[in-house]
Amino acid sequence: MIHPLLQTYGPLDGWMILLIMASVSIGFFTYQVQKATRLVLIGAPDSRFDSWVPRIMEFIVGWLGQKKVLRDRVAGTMHVLIFWGFLMLASDMFDLATANYFSGELLPELLVGPWNGVVELGYTMALIGCVSAFVRRVVFTPEKLKGKSQLEGNTILLLIFTITTTSFMIESKEDPSPFWEPIGHQFSEFGLSDGAVVVSYWLHMLSISAFLFLIPLSKHMHLVMAVPNVFFHDTGPVAKMRPLALGDDGKAVPLEDLDIESFGVSSYNQYTWRQLIDGWSCTSCARCQDVCPAYASGKGLNPMQVIHDVRDYANEHAPLLLSGETPEESMMQRITEEAVWACTTCNACVDVCPLYIEHVPKLTDLRRNAMMETMEYPDVLNTAMGNIESASNPYGYGEHERADWAADLDVKIGEPAEYIYFVGCAASFDERNQKVARSTISLLKEAGLDVGILGMQEGCSGDPARRAGNEYLFQMLAETNMMTFQELGVKRIIASCPHCFHTLGKEYGDYGGEELEVFHHSEILAKLQEEGSLPRVEKNGQSITFHDPCYLGRIGGIIDEPRDVIGGVDVETEKSGRDSFCCGAGGAQMWMEEEAGKRVNEIRAKELSETGCDTVAVGCPFCSIMVKDGLDAVGADMDVKDVAEILWEQIVAKDNEIQENITNAN
């Protein structure tokens, strides 16, 4: 039969019809993409043109390999089938739009068969993926999709279904190879009429045109924006925040030299261009929503909605933004104060996002502006921030009391040592966590390490101030601590607080601490056990589960070591390791009050109680407090102990047993 494109339809030739369809769809697509691009490029500068090899490698496994997408085995597999299917069938568009000129004239004859095979496989994969996704949506509707409009998603799936099925019908009239094109060959045996194939061709081209038209109007804009979004992902340490200003050396500008007019983000164009791409990259898969502790507890924060807010704000205010004007509505008003201050900065949303969207910095940047410029922040933070500023700890205790917990431990205080144990504010002043500090320093001395503490010379690492948005106070603390480290020649630091571990190890590099080696105490203890300097833990009939702190497991990558210290975990929670659920204390929430919905720590406590274990092991002072309070609230009778406590208690018990045996023998 004559190719449908070469036939005449009334007053118009086929190629004229296709030209009209293509002009409308491609023209509209191009207009919308360039509009979105212009809205992105009015953002602030962002240095993402470095680390080319890591970027390329992560792009290959993250975008092409769909690494994060496949963490959800069911939905991920469906998406991958459609994604890879379209990559494989894409070249067929050239053939369909040129009446087979591409395959008949341009493509070497030797490659025609294999090329047809790849194209048909692509159509087949996309068909299987879209049918599976449709059945999942309609028959096995996920909870997060119930009650929400399915029109957009189902329309796209219908278009994909039409594109794939009509391809086999068109193929049936082109003498398909039974080896390379088995499905097309099977269709050819059905004896489809020429008219049916002509209709199929135009349905196929119309569906492609409609798909192209709808891409920039829907979440499928990610098909365009995902490429730069993934490629220009943050290659720095996970959850590392940026200084107020960077100098030519790439380090933070010292406070005494700082000269900036505004703090954080208030208006749309104060977000960086990379942050703005996120708005058009979101697929609305709701994975970030599913793992957000604030959302799960009924707070006004939905990380997916935050990303939508950025995009919607841009589209609604596009005329003003593109003309260089600033809309009256601020970004804080659009995203809402409730959402901004509910974030625990646990990074679960960022970690799970298949397109490397950076949710948390959008919120912490708004906090910076609210804390340091507009002064519109929760009043309850005044106490903690005031205490940190005056006493260098959020509890408000005098600096001279920092080492009181170690008065009888014969430990170096304020002296040079191979390792400095950075105690942290909680373990210095909170009675419950002072036991952790005592256990940790006792274990390190038991193993023969040259270790000391800073005593009153230690100041808050600055984590609460930084996550709350008080970046100026954080930098003041960082610069002061760094002067202390340099005076004492501190090179190696051990921290039992994951927040100090992260801040000192990943963020102090911007303030002169790039040569610091910072270890979590579980890392050192596990290493000492492996070397034989400390004993292994014996369970003695006690069952243990472990709660992974966000800043230790997901953000810090320390997952196995704390488990090794306690001799392994008897029962893991459903959410563990990098997928652990937040205790609710991060992001300065420790110093704020939860008002809406359920308490985050109670949700986590219920998950921990369902393990049926006797003890919850932790590796964070904040988690210790929050988990214990949560367990009490849900009526669960479980002990909460730091991994250092568990190990030290065993050593003390062994020593007491030996002493008792000696006494009895005498």
> Which residue's structure tokens are 């030290």?
648
Whether residue 326 is contained in a domain is answered as: yes
Burial of 190 (0-12, 13-18, 19+ CB in 10 A): exposed
**Residue 510: per-residue pLDDT:** 97
Residue 205, domain CATH: 1.20.950
DSSP result, 111-161:
HHHHHHHHHHHHHHHHHHHHHHHHHHHHTS--GGGTTS--HHHHHHHHHHH
State whether 517 and 555 are in the same domain. no
Tally of domains in the chain: 4
State whether 423 and 356 are in the same domain. no
Whether residue 666 is contained in a domain is answered as: no
Average pLDDT over residues 326-335: 97
Of 484, 501, 531, the position where a domain reaches its end is 531
Average pLDDT over residues 326-344: 97
Question: For residues 589 and 278, what is the distance between their CA atoms, to the nearest angstrom?
Answer: 26
**Residue 589: per-residue pLDDT:** 96
**Residue 141: per-residue pLDDT:** 83
Whether residue 246 is contained in a domain is answered as: no
CA atoms within 13 A on the CB side of 467: 27
Question: For residues 446 and 458, what is the distance between their CA atoms, to the nearest angstrom?
Answer: 23
Whether residue 240 is contained in a domain is answered as: no
**Residue 146: per-residue pLDDT:** 76
Length of the chain (residues): 666
* Contacts with 576 (C-beta within 8 Å, 6 or more apart), sequence order: 546, 548
State whether 141 and 34 are in the same domain. yes
Whether residue 171 is contained in a domain is answered as: yes
**Residue 611 pLDDT greater than 70, yes or no:** yes
State whether 564 and 511 are in the same domain. no
Element (H, E) at 352: helix 348-352
Can you give the residue range of the structural domain that contains 505?
384-531
Q: Decide: helix, strand or coil at residue 215.
A: helix
State whether 266 and 369 are in the same domain. yes
Q: Among 1, 407, 417, 470, which residue's Cα sits nearest to residue 192? A: 1
* Contacts with 11 (C-beta within 8 Å, 6 or more apart), sequence order: none
Burial of 656 (0-12, 13-18, 19+ CB in 10 A): exposed
State whether 28 and 150 are in the same domain. yes
Whether residue 649 is contained in a domain is answered as: yes
Of 374, 398, 429, the position where a domain reaches its end is 374
State whether 75 and 193 are in the same domain. yes
**Residue 539: per-residue pLDDT:** 82
State whether 411 and 552 are in the same domain. no
**Residue 41 pLDDT greater than 90, yes or no:** yes
Question: For residues 74 and 657, what is the distance between their CA atoms, to the nearest angstrom?
Answer: 54
Q: Among 229, 209, 306, which residue's Cα sits nearest to residue 37? A: 229
Question: For residues 577 and 587, what is the distance between their CA atoms, to the nearest angstrom?
Answer: 19
Question: For residues 426 and 202, what is the distance between their CA atoms, to the nearest angstrom?
Answer: 69
Whether residue 233 is contained in a domain is answered as: no
State whether 354 and 266 are in the same domain. yes
**Residue 148: per-residue pLDDT:** 75
Question: For residues 29 and 24, what is the distance between their CA atoms, to the nearest angstrom?
Answer: 8
pLDDT digits (tens, 9 = 90+) for 86-112: 999 999 999 999 999 999 999 999 999
Q: Among 613, 543, 619, which residue's Cα sits nearest to residue 580? A: 619
**Residue 117: per-residue pLDDT:** 97
State whether 395 and 438 are in the same domain. yes
State whether 119 and 168 are in the same domain. yes
* Contacts with 527 (C-beta within 8 Å, 6 or more apart), sequence order: none
**Residue 596: per-residue pLDDT:** 63
Q: Are 425 and 496 in contact (CB under 8 A)?
A: no
Element (H, E) at 452: strand 451-453
**Residue 274 pLDDT greater than 90, yes or no:** yes
Q: Among 573, 471, 531, 51, which residue's Cα sits nearest to residue 242? A: 471
Measured torsion, CA atoms of residues 458, 459, 460, 466, in degrees rounded to the nearest 10: -130
**Residue 666 pLDDT greater than 70, yes or no:** no
Question: For residues 430 and 496, what is the distance between their CA atoms, to the nearest angstrom?
Answer: 14
Q: Are 137 and 154 in contact (CB under 8 A)?
A: yes
**Residue 595: per-residue pLDDT:** 75
pLDDT digits (tens, 9 = 90+) for 342-367: 999 999 999 999 999 999 999 999 99
And the tokens for 127? 């068909």
pLDDT digits (tens, 9 = 90+) for 402-411: 999 999 999 9
**Residue 157 pLDDT greater than 80, yes or no:** yes
Split at pLDDT 50, 70, 90, the class of 147 is confident
State whether 266 and 338 are in the same domain. yes
Window from 340-349, 430-439, 465-474, 652-661 with minimum mean pLDDT? 652-661
The reply to whether the predicted model has a pTM over 0.85 is yes
Q: What is the mean pLDDT of the chain?
A: 95
Whether residue 155 is contained in a domain is answered as: yes
At residue 527, what is the residue type? K
**Residue 442 pLDDT greater than 80, yes or no:** yes
Of 343, 374, 405, the position where a domain reaches its end is 374
The distance in angstroms from the start CA to the end CA of the chain is: 108
